[in-house]
């Protein structure tokens, strides 16, 4: 038997622009393996559910291309399962698309150690980012900590070109291996009642859906600059879910968008703005590589001394979307039901928690990580630190979003709040009603009620007082 080419799938569930897949195919008949390990299961419930859909979709595509062979799904620890399997099949190289989180680096280290005695190696491939982090350095050879010069450098260098197109025919490894049935798989049993809502609201998964979504967005990109701040409109790309699990690569997004800007100049300005956002995604990953602790520690260490409240009872009210602030509660309910939240609303929701309620940003980050289907460890951490004021390129702490004013600006007719918040404005949309059925019965919720208007000023004043005290403390030390 010819030794197979093994692809260790952890992210990047796609055929296009997938150098790890290509390398595995070049090594021999393809054997793609996904392992349900501790690392997978420590991910938040909604993103695990989303990952499962990506896995099922790629499995179906591979079966079509190979005449019936899909992904081998196993349960256990990757560094205990794969090395003996490779030894038995005579395989020397294990291909993986790199995903540079600190947890994955630890697992990759264990994998290398387990492969070494047999002379086998782990080969990491790019595919997750526009540009390799080593290629974008400041004049001093360090990493960029500020977005604008980073973005300029990315545009100057130009993102890496996508690898060749999707392979047309794939020869699959015929070695009989006992794996789990992807269609019977449940990676998120802990979703409970929220699962039906996600199934109802989440857009289609898979590489085909991602490419179609991109093309659809590019057709309306001219409306992006004017509409992107409006959660009541469908003006953004909605690609973050697909990018998070790698059903589409940022390099393909970039290449297709640039091509469209050339042939449809009326969309060029919108596409330029959209690509700036895609660069934000890369920036967050470059920061994560520089600060592997970004999801758990303030990038500016002095902020560890800020008087965040750790056990505040208001945290539960925030998590349960009962702050009494309409835009905040609507956003949290949208996330609960759809696994997504509009970017502007994410900022307001995060600002309410970290400023008006003075609660530690890490509590908010953890809740988002559990509920977002587009959860991305780098984007989530960078943005939470940005809002909280402790990131390398953060908004100044004294910039406190006023949720009422933001609601007037972003949701002028109240359509967004009416859609997700049953009882807002006396009206109710069907979507808003679903939320009531999808929450745990123990929450025992009645109609939504606004909080007292005084809480806006009270929270703002408390945040500014905490900042003044904090500044005094750090100037003393």
Ligand X SMILES: Cc1cc2nc3c(=O)[nH]c(=O)nc-3n(C[C@H](O)[C@H](O)[C@H](O)COP(=O)(O)OP(=O)(O)OC[C@H]3O[C@@H](n4cnc5c(N)ncnc54)[C@H](O)[C@@H]3O)c2cc1C
Binding residues vs ligand X (CB under 6 A): 228, 236-240, 243-244, 274, 277-278, 280-281, 284, 343, 346-347, 350, 368, 372, 374-376, 379-380, 383-384, 387
Between 60 and 151, CB nearer to ligand X: 151
Closer residue to ligand X in complex, CB, 9/369: 369
According to DSSP, the β-strands at 5-9 and 93-97 are: parallel
d(CA 235, CA 223): 7
CA-wise closest residue to 142 among 41, 319, 290: 290
Residue 28: closest CA among 175, 174, 169, 171: 171
- Which CB atom, from 95 or from 344, has the smaller least distance to ligand X? 344
Q: How far is the CB of 128 from ligand X (least distance, A)?
A: 11
Closest approach of ligand X to the CB of residue 299, in Å: 15
**Rounded Cα–Cα distance for residues 415 and 132 (Å):** 41
Q: How far is the CB of 221 from ligand X (least distance, A)?
A: 10
| Whether 228 contacts 273, CB under 8 Å | yes
Closer of 8 and 336 to ligand X (Cβ): 336
Write the CB contacts of 176 (distance below 8 Å, at least 6 apart in sequence).
none
Q: Distance between CA atoms of 359 and 471, rounded to whole angstroms?
A: 18
Between CA 54 and CA 247 the distance in angstroms is: 7
Q: Provide, rounded to whole angstroms, the least separation between the CB of residue 19 and ligand X.
A: 20
Min dist CB 166 to ligand X, Å, is: 21
Q: At closest approach, how far in Å is the CB of 339 from ligand X?
A: 10
CA 84 from chain centre, in angstroms, equals: 33
SS3 309: strand
**Nearer residue to ligand X within complex by CB, 96 or 240:** 240
Q: For residues 361 and 424, which CB has a smaller minimum distance to ligand X in the complex?
A: 361
Helix (H) or strand (E) holding 233: none
């Amino acid at each position: 038997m010819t030794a197979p080419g093994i692809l260790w799938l952890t992210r990047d569930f796609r055929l296009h622009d997938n150098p790890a897949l290509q390398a595995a195919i070049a090594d021999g008949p393809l054997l793609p393996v996904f392992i349900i390990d501790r690392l997978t299961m420590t991910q938040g419930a909604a993103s695990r559910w989303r990952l499962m859909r990506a896995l099922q979709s790629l499995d179906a595509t591979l079966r079509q291309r190979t005449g019936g062979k899909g992904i081998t799904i196993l349960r256990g620890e990757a560094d205990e399962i794969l090395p003996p399997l490779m030894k038995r099949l005579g395989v020397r190289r294990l291909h993986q698309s790199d995903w540079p989180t600190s947890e994955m680096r630890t697992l990759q280290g264990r994998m290398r150690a387990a492969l070494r005695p047999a002379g086998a190696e782990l080969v990491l491939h790019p595919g997750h980012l526009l540009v390799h982090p080593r290629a974008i350095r400041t004049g001093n050879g360090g990493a960029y900590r500020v977005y604008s010069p980073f973005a300029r450098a990315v545009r100057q260098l130009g993102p890496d070109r996508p690898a060749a197109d999707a392979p047309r025919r794939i020869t699959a490894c015929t070695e009989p291996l006992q794996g789990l049935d992807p269609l019977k798989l449940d990676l998120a049993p802990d979703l409970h009642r929220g699962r039906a809502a996600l199934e109802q609201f989440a857009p289609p998964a898979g590489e085909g859906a991602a490419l179609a979504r991109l093309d659809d967005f590019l057709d309306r990109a001219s409306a992006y600059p004017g509409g992107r701040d409006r959660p009541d409109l469908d003006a953004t790309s909605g690609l973050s879910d697909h990018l998070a699990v790698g059903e589409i690569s940022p390099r393909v997004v970039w290449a297709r968008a640039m091509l469209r800007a050339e042939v449809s100049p009326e969309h060029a300005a919108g596409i330029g703005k959209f690509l700036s956002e895609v660069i934000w995604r890369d920036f967050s990953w470059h920061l994560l590589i520089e600060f592997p602790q970004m999801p758990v520690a303030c990038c500016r260490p002095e902020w560890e001394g800020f008087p965040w409240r750790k056990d505040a009872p208001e945290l539960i009210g925030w998590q349960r979307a009962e702050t009494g602030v309409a835009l905040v509660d609507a956003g949290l309910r949208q996330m609960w039901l759809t696994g997504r939240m509009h970017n502007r609303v994410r900022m307001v929701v995060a600002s309410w928690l970290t400023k008006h309620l003075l609660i530690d940003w890490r509590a908010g980050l953890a809740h988002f990580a559990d509920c977002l289907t587009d959860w991305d460890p780098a984007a989530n951490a960078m943005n939470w630190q940005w809002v909280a004021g402790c990131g390398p390129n953060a908004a100044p702490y004294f910039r406190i979003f006023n949720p009422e004013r933001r609601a007037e600006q972003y949701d002028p007719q109240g359509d967004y709040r009416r859609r997700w918040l049953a009882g807002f404005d006396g009206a109710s949309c069907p979507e808003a009603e679903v939320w009531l059925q999808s929450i745990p019965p123990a929450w025992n919720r009645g109609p939504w009620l606004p909080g007292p208007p005084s809480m806006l000023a009270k929270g703002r004043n408390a945040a500014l007082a905490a900042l003044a005290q904090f500044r005094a403390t750090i100037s003393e030390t």
